[in-house]
Amino acid sequence: MIPTYNNILKATTLFGGVQGLSIVLNLVRTKIVAVLLGPEGIGLNSIYNETREFVHSTSNLGLDVSGVRGVSAAYEKWTEATDDDEKALCRSNITLQVAVLRSWVILLALFGVLICMLLAAPLSYFTFGDFNHTWGYVLLSPAVGFSTVTCGELAVLKGLRKLKSLATVSVLNVVAGIVITLPIYFLWGIEGVLPAILAFCAASMILTIAFSRKAERFHVVYTRKELREGHKALSVGFNFVICSIIGHVSILCIQAYLNNFASLRFVGLYNAGYTLTMTYAGLVFAAMETDYFPRLSGVFTNIKERTDTLLKQQDVTIVLVTPLLAAMIVVLPLVVPLLLSGNFDSIIPMAQVTTIGLLFRAIYLPNAYMSLAAGDNRTFLFINTVGAIDILLVLVGYEIYGLLGMGIALTFQNLLDMLLVMAISKWKYGVRFTTGRIAELIVFSILLFATYASCLNLDGWQYWVCGTALTLLCTAYSILKFKQGK
């Protein structure tokens, strides 16, 4: 069944609302952390966290993604079983699939801890330009294992369709991040960055296990025959691992370059600007994985239906996100000191120009899911590889215009990625982008560029009057296009 524009809007606002609660809680935490640690502390925290995520996502072999399939397939068979014997057999298969997943997760968690410890010295030299943080990475290694176990238990909840538990855990983990880490930062300042990461990862793991155990009793397997059940999931996850490695290496390259050739403070400023803009747009983009991707996968074999599904999702995303982006460009001078602190005012020009690129990302994301829905691993790997490489353009932007240049480069990168996936959708999956939709994108782009230009060149009451007028114009045009689409 092809969804209507209203259905897509309801799903997008629903999942956006759940995401919004997490964002609000995270903003509270970010504000306090910004005041307590400053740009240097945020820079150190981002480097440690990105390295932890890099080692974790590499060593878990994509099992947190591919492992969902085995559990979900077993659960689907159980729901379709017609008699008691068949249900009992399917129920035992669910138990086996979950046990196999958990067993592999524990092994890979230990593997991740070992890898982080062994690579502590090279990681320190790569990210900081010296070996002074070697013991820091050794101490960080348990957090890698905690993260792997957490993702494995989340995969169990996803496979068993425990959506309420997933939502509850995600919110509780954010609350735990506030309750646990902020006292550490308050007492130890920047020296508390590493203990805070360890404490938060441990708390997330414990909370997630508490919910997943209710869904399925904790049990692991040890025999080679039983463990072999997980080989298929590991092989499927290989492409995710490659994409993850490339993506995290690119981000680490940016952070290491800025840390070594600029300063740790500059790393914190860049990370704050990037995170602020991406988090804001996450309100609209949250529905992509939870609602749009399952729908697209379900109709993918039908060319007409998959095209209609893609284009409608793209239309709704654009009309929702554009007024938000225009408003964000205007209010960033108020938002940055409010959500962070006055020490971060220098990121405002970067964040404003980066916001324009999120319009292109609103088109990129629905198209990027096409290869994933098709099971086209090579295309999926190609798209993610290009996206991971061209983000390095921010280093060129830094050399030319500093933070502002990095924002311009991020917008240009989003534009390139959008053009790439649109070309793939057209030539590989038969999606036709009409002249009307292209014209609509041009109009929205002009409105956002006009908003940015007015904010760049005006001051005082003229800034606010012109910015507000253009935001209202974006909103009116979005409402008009949505009504026409209905």
Is pTM beyond 0.85? Reply is no
Please name the residue ranges forming H helices in 160-189.
163-188
64-67 long-range CB contacts below 8 Å, 24 or more apart? 64/105, 64/148, 64/151, 64/152, 64/154, 64/155, 65/155, 65/237, 65/240, 66/233, 66/234, 66/236, 66/237, 66/240, 67/101, 67/104, 67/105, 67/152, 67/155, 67/159, 67/230, 67/233, 67/237
CA dihedral 62, 65, 71, 73 (to 10 degrees): -110
What's the CA gap between 73 and 93, in Å, rounded?
A: 10
Average pLDDT of the chain is 81
Please name the residue ranges forming H helices in 160-299.
163-188, 193-215, 224-227, 231-236, 238-261, 264-285, 287, 293-299
Residues of the chain where predicted confidence (pLDDT) is lower than 50: 1-2, 5, 8-9, 11-12, 14-16
Cα end-to-end span (Å), the chain: 16
Question: Which residue from 51, 78, 324 is spatially nearest to 194, judged by alpha carbons?
Answer: 51
Question: Which residue from 328, 333, 273, 274 is spatially nearest to 458, judged by alpha carbons?
Answer: 333
- Condensed to tens digits (0 to 9), the pLDDT of residues 64-94 reads 666 666 777 777 677 777 777 777 777 777 7
Q: What residues contact 50, with CB distance under 8 A and at least 6 apart?
A: 248, 251, 252, 255
Q: pLDDT value at position 392? A: 81
- The domain spans of the chain are 1-36+238-486, 62-236
Q: pLDDT value at position 84? A: 73
Q: pLDDT value at position 449? A: 94
